[in-house]
Amino acid sequence: MKKIGPSTLAVHGGEPHVRPSRSITEPLVLASTYPFEHTEELHAFMQGELERPEEYGRYGNPTVAAVEARLAALEAGGAEGFGAVLMASGMAAITSTLLAMLRAGQHVIFTADVYRKTRVFARSYLDKFGVAVDIVEPSLAAIEAAVRSETKIIFTEAPTNPYLRVVDLEGVVALAKRHRIKTIVDATFATPINMRPCDLGVDLVIHSTTKYLGGHNDLLGGVVVGRSGLVEAIREQVGTLGAVCDPHNAFLLGRGLKTLALRIERHNRSALAIATMLEEHPKVAQVWYPLLASHQDHATARRYLSGGGGVVSFEVHGGLEAGTKLVDAVRIPKLAPSLGGVESLIEQPALMSFYDQGPEGRAQLGIREGLIRLSVGIEDLEDLRADLLAALDQM
Ligand SMILES: *Cc1c(COP(=O)(O)O)cnc(C)c1O
């Protein structure tokens, strides 16, 4: 089959798919249940003699299923044999996937700067269910050193938050295959436009669809994508765990997804320009952006990422207070958690995600007090640049 590009897949992935009334858009089906004609049909269904896509809302919905098919196609670059399960949030996708795959006595390796609530789940929940956890540096050597005979999963994130680290994914996959370990990558920051971990042999890819995939700061969602066998086993358990995706939410996601490639192009271009500008600014101490030559993981980033994404992290001289001045002085980026939407957002990790750690905890985690995380939106680059420069002047 001829290779299909990501922009086409973001719009048409999962087709041919004839919709009711042959509408060009996916209808929003709001139904909690799907009646049977008569008991005979029910009986045939229960015996497995009748194929019926829907039964009850928690086990599937046609609007959700269409978006799942598109996401699977996009993540796999159009390759056959992949599936996706949409869930209520990124955290629902992470926790449900791990709960579905693990049992007591097994061991999971997480890399240190995975999403904060993923770490909370690892430390406070998996432990409780008798699953051993190690959280290690995002380097191949550190991951390898943590492998035990009970290790079932290596869970990493690429790029990470807030320092945008990119681990050697091929190295991790090779290591995992040698030890019959499954690999999961939270690729929320990369999106399937900038990186496709499945092509590198990663077993499961997770996204918080709240971020770039939805892209409009108007929904919460999560998805897990991988080979159909593994994904269907997870779907089966999600029907029990219950963190399913609402059809309204899937509809919005399906709509946002159609412009993903266009939006990411803009995010990539503007963020790189802003990172370059900040790196040259005298009031900025350091900039983290994977495609800058100064980034610690620049070489791996170049290998895996076709674009650096929309997040730029930087440290200003003058610590927490100077950072606050800057965050309050900018006019276009809004002070808010989250990232990946059309609106630019800005925050100080020390006062947001890592507030509860206190200065010592943050120092231990390597979160600098003067650190700022900017999620570059799709506004005009010149306006964003002028806004940031004016705010830096005021700082
Ligand atoms: C936001 C985020 C999550 C959690 O997703 P929610 O949709 O907020 O539950 C997980 N991983 C990463 C990398 C994220 O940025």
Q: What is the pLDDT of residues 169-203, one digit of tens each?
A: 999 999 999 999 999 999 999 999 999 999 999 99
Q: For the chain, how far is it from start to end, CA to CA, in angstroms?
A: 56
Q: Please give the number of the atom of ligand 1 that sits closest to the Cα of 221.
A: 7
Selection from 336, 284, 345 nearest residue 315 by Cα: 284
Q: Are 91 and 135 in contact (CB under 8 A)?
A: no
Ligand 1 neighbourhood includes 183 CB (under 6 angstroms): no
Ranges of H-type helices in the chain: 6-12, 39-46, 62-75, 90-101, 116-121, 140-146, 169-178, 191-194, 228-241, 247-257, 260-279, 298-304, 319-329, 358-365, 381-394
Centroid of ligand 1 to alpha carbon of 304 (angstroms):
21
pLDDT in the model for residue 113: 85
> How high is the pLDDT of residue 265?
98
Cβ of residue 188 lying under 6 Å from some atom of ligand 1 = yes
Give 375's strand partners.
311, 345
pLDDT tens track for 217-259:
999 999 999 999 999 999 999 999 999 999 999 999 999 999 9
Mutate to test the pocket of ligand 1, among 97, 166, 211, 373 (most ligand atoms within 8 A of CB): 211
Give the residue, by CA position, lying nearest to ligand 1 atom 5. Answer: 90
Atom of ligand 1 nearest to the CA of 188: 13
What is the predicted pLDDT for the residue at 3?
A: 83
Nearest residue (CA) to ligand 1, atom 8:
90
- Determine which residue's CA is closest to atom 1 belonging to ligand 1: 208
Q: Which atom of ligand 1 is nearest to the CA of 222?
A: 7
Q: Which domains does the chain possess?
A: 6-257 (3.40.640.10), 260-394 (3.90.1150.10)
- Return the active site residues: 58, 115, 186, 211
The secondary structure of the chain in percent helix, strand, coil, rounded to multiples of 5, reads 45, 15, 40
DSSP, collapsed to helix, strand or coil, labels residue 198 as: helix
Each residue's pLDDT expressed in tens, for the chain with a length of 395 residues: 568 999 999 999 998 877 888 899 999 999 999 999 999 999 999 999 988 778 999 999 999 999 999 999 999 999 999 999 999 999 999 999 999 999 999 999 999 989 999 999 999 999 899 999 999 999 999 999 999 999 999 999 999 999 999 999 999 999 999 999 999 999 999 999 999 999 999 999 999 999 999 999 999 999 999 999 999 999 999 999 999 999 999 999 999 999 999 999 999 999 999 999 999 999 999 999 999 999 999 999 999 999 999 999 999 999 999 999 999 999 999 999 999 999 999 999 999 988 988 999 999 888 999 999 999 999 999 999 999 999 999 99
